[in-house]
Structure 1
Amino acid sequence: MSGSQLSRLPLEIIIIILSQLSFRSLLSFGKTSRANYTYHILCMRHLHLAVFQKRIHALIAFLDIDSSWINCQSNIVEDSTLDRGHQIPIVLPQSTRGKEVIGCKSVLRRRSASSESRKQIRGNGNDDVPRSAPQTIRLQNEIFAKIVNRYGNSLVDLEFLAYDLNIQGATAIASNCQGRLRHLGLRFEHPHIRDSMLSRSYWLRPPEGSTAWNSLIGVGEQGKNIGLTRLESLVLERGSITPWQLCMLVKRNVKLRDIRLRNCSAVQPEFLNWLGGLEVDPEEPHKYEEVAPGASIQVFWLENCDSIRSERLGLLADKDDEKALEKGLEWVRALKSLKSISFRQCPNVDPDLVEKANETIWRLPEVVLPYPVKQYNSEPIEVDPDYV
């Protein structure tokens, strides 16, 4: 089909046709003419980007998404983040990598490790000088921002897989995707990626709060006249967003129905109680919410979050006391539209209590327990005295 024939078709049909192309074919098509360049921008609606030091790291990150989130998947909730759009692995340029990356050849491997030789190499402007983790994060966000600046106005589904988010990446999202984006996934937890520039515990805990997230909620110097307001689903993994920032992000996206948080620093009683209407409005500290801000949420997954705490069912004097069962989890009852909740890998939540609370109080269609109940109720193993 020639360009003139294509231009005669309705725009909706053109987008459907071009959406069947691979990413490389779509880019090639966009280079053929100005009109086709516009078409290829418009049909780039679902984009998942993984920016890492190695291609294998990006592939592992994509595989890890499928394996970890499909395990919690049921017929009750349709996961719109899977099998959609273009999954693009991006490898940082060779000049940005050094000996910190396992298996990467570097000039420093063949040189003396003395400080004099290192200074000499840096002074000569050698591109093989190793990068630190903060430099890698900056480069990841630079590449991500360039792509979002080009396609952001047409994106309805965007995911970013890297080490962390900085102001440049957050501003690119908030300024280019504010009116159209429906799904945002920021995944910064990749436990199966081994990078020697990172500490062994790097993936285990979220980083400290960052002002970069202010751009997403339209506050601060970087966030003036920008921000996201029409999200319907949100995925945050190992995010450095604070409880207040997450409150504001949820409040300003009134159509948000699907929230999935994993190893996220914002999952604190402050946020959960606000979501359940138990705390005051963060913008109006003297006004309590009559209807819980999270009353319309249908999917709420909190995984690998150690700030959520509940009582132990075995320690309760009255196991039928609703107040005792919900202590620490009172906010769940106010989420009236909830269909699915997950506490997977939350170490301070008792699975027996969650199961009991759902049977007697919440009655939700899908509840993912922190750990299998059998693990806690297993019978003691008998040991032959002769082998002791």
Structure 2
Amino acid sequence: MTTFTSLPPEITREILQYLPVPTLLAFGLTSKNNHSIQQHSLSSLRLGVFHSRLGGMISLMEATADRSCLHSVQMILPKSECRKKDKVIRNQNLRIANVVEKYTHTLRDLEIACWELQESAAMSLAQLKNLKRLSIRLDHPHTRFSGLDPSFWETAPGSPVWNLFTSKKGEKGKSALGRLQSLNLERAGITDYQLTKILESNPNVRELSLRKCVNLTDKIFKILAEGKVGRKLEVLHFTRCCEVEIDERVLDHIGRLLNLKELSLYGCYRLDSDLVKKLNDEQWHIEDLTLPSTPSSPNQEVQIDPEYK
């Protein structure tokens, strides 16, 4: 009779990938050998660190990834670590770094959710040399915290922390990551230059999603059109990055992304939706297109059904 311990390691790891995280961790506590197997079995992880259970639940509902094998973990900080906004952010990043560093060689698919990215978490993420999909979600507008102004979610200040994804501290010229196929950034203060360097280090990116990355300009479209990533890019989401530079000049660059199958320009209000649709019908032929739309006029009347009571 075949027992669990007699199975080949690769079969064991495949089975363990589908266990809930608490069960997987419990398995790793049964012996040193099982602990080693457990650490090599966690290849996909959705990790959120929040100050309240409600905040974690809402974040999970809004999660971008919807892959059934992605393990989901919501960590709730104790009240003693949540007295001030800066303290919450610092402890979020420390917890993320602590978890990620345990699975440096095994993670292939990672989604993290916190309020702001700092060096401690960024450095641990940069060590994930086998990572293929990375999602960093910093946009949580439904969060309620006494020391947090709602306008916080509408800003994305620039930061040198994004430089850590292209070079390791103390090792000049040595690239970080390197095998990414999908990159998703929400409310990230990344600049054109920083994103370009990340894409140069990860030439196999096929999916690029940028939301509320307001420091990006139209230059990023030109960089994509002229770079190696742009020739292979299949999915591009550039949403709510509403800087004035994003206008009709980017349309020529989009037309040079010949392998695009999915494109979203939602929230780029300086782009004319009719023109974008016409270009797609006549030239681009992108299968899944989300138009920029237009903001509602503040003076627009709202009609109400007279039968409604």
Contact 2:267 2:294 in 1 (8 A): no
Q: Is residue 2:145 matched to residue 1:195? A: yes
Q: Give 1:51's aligned residue.
A: 49
Which residue pairs with 1:267 in the alignment? 216
Task: Label 1:218 to 1:310 Cα distance change in 2 as closer, same or farther (>3 A).
Answer: same
Q: Quick check: 1:297 aligned with 2:247?
A: no
Q: Give the AA of the match of 2:43.
A: R
Contact 1:217 1:223 in 2 (8 A): no
Q: Residues 219 and 268 from structure 1, CA distance in 2 versus in 1: closer, same or farther, beyond 3 angstroms?
A: farther
Q: Please state how far the C-alpha of 1:13 moved relative to its aligned partner.
A: 1.1
Residues 81 and 257 of structure 1: is their aligned pair in 2 closer, same or farther, counting only changes over 3 Å?
Answer: farther
Deviation for aligned residue 1:223 = 6.8
Choose 1 or 2 for highest CA Rg: 1
Alignment partner, residue 37 of structure 1: 35
Distance 1:292 1:252, change over 3 A: closer
The answer to whether the 8 Å contact 2:175/2:201 transfers is: no
- SS class of match (1:139): helix
Q: Which one of 103, 106, 128 corresponds to residue 151 of structure 1? A: 103
CA distance in 1, matches of 2:284, 2:99: 43
C-alpha distance in 2 between matches for 1:266 and 1:338: 24
Letter in 2 for 1:83: S
The answer to whether the 8 Å contact 2:111/2:135 transfers is yes
Determine if the alignment matches structure 1 residue 230 to structure 2 residue 179: yes
Q: Give the secondary-structure state (helix, strand or coil) at the position aligned to 1:48.
A: strand
Give the Cα–Cα distance (whole angstroms) in 2 for the partners of residues 164 and 39 of structure 1.
33
Residue 161 (structure 1) aligned with residue 97 (structure 2): no
SS in 2 for 1:153: coil
Amino acid at match of 2:37: Y
Match of 2:306 in 1: none
How many residue pairs get matched?
A: 300
> Relative to structure 2, which stretch is displaced further, 301-310 or 160-169?
301-310
Range with bigger deviation, 31-40 or 348-357: 348-357
Are 1:21 and 2:19 counterparts? yes
Q: Could you tell which deviates more after superposition, 216-225 or 329-338? A: 216-225
**Relative to structure 1, is the Cα distance of residues 301 and 381 closer, same or farther in structure 2, using a 3 angstrom cutoff?**
closer
Residue 23 of structure 1: how far off its partner (Å): 0.8
2:254 maps to which residue? 332
- CA deviations on 1:27-53 (whole Å, 9 max, x unpaired) are 111011110001111110111111010
RMSD: 2.5
Name the amino acid aligned to 1:138: R
Give the alignment partner of residue 306 of structure 1, picking from 242, 252, 256. Answer: 242
Shift of 1:197: 1.4
**1:371: which partner in 2?**
293
Secondary structure at 1:364's aligned position in 2? coil
Report the CA distance between 1:293 and its aligned residue. Answer: 4.1
Give the whole-Å Cα distance in 2 for the aligned partners of 1:185 and 1:199: 25
Judge which range, 136-145 or 346-355, deviates more: 346-355
- Counterparts of 1:92 and 1:222 in 2: how far apart (Å)? 33
Distance 1:139 1:381 in 2: 45
CA–CA distance in structure 2, aligned partners of residues 381 and 166 of structure 1: 44
Query: Which SS does the other structure have where 1:294 is aligned?
Result: helix
Instruction: Indicate if the aligned counterparts of 2:46 and 2:110 stay in contact, CA closer than 8 A.
Output: yes
